[in-house]
Amino acid sequence: MTILKKLSIKNENKSFKYSIFIGENFIQLLENNFFKILNGKKIYVIYDEFFKKFKMNKNMIEEFENLSKRLSAEVFFFKIKSKDKYKNFERLSILLNFILSNRIHRDSLIISIGGGVTGDLVGFASSIVLRGVKCIHIPTTLLSQVDSSVGGKTGINTKHGKNLVGTFYQPEGILIDINFLKTLPKRELLAGFAEVIKYSFIYDKKFFNYLKKNTEDIIKLKSPYIQNIIFKSCQIKARIVSMDEKEQGIRGILNFGHTFAHAFENLINYDNKKLIHGEAVAIGMACAFRLSVILQLCSKTEAEKCMSLISKFNLPTKIKDIKGIKLTSKKLFDKFYLDKKVKNGKITLILFNEIGSVLIKNDVDERVLKKFFNELINE
Would you please indicate which residues are annotated as catalytic (active-site) residues? 131, 153, 195, 237, 247, 251, 255, 258, 262, 277
Burial 166-205 (b: 16+ CB within 10 A, else e): bebbbbbbbbbbbebbeebeeebbbbbbbbbbbbbbbbbe
Burial of 248 (0-12, 13-18, 19+ CB in 10 A): exposed
Question: What is the four-CA torsion angle of 186, 225, 287, 345, rounded to 10 degrees?
Answer: 110
Burial of 299 (0-12, 13-18, 19+ CB in 10 A): middle
Strand partners, 113: 47, 138
Other CB atoms within 10 Å distance of the CB of residue 272: 18
Could you tell me the CA-to-CA distances from 259 to 15, 254, 311, 362 in Å, in that order? 29, 11, 20, 12
Alpha carbon distance 211, 198 (integer Å): 11
| CB-CB contact of 291 with 376 (8 Å) | no
Q: Spell out where the chain has E strands.
A: 5-10, 17-23, 42-48, 74-80, 109-114, 134-139, 156-158, 161-165, 173-177, 349-354, 357-361
End-to-end Cα, the chain, rounded Å: 52
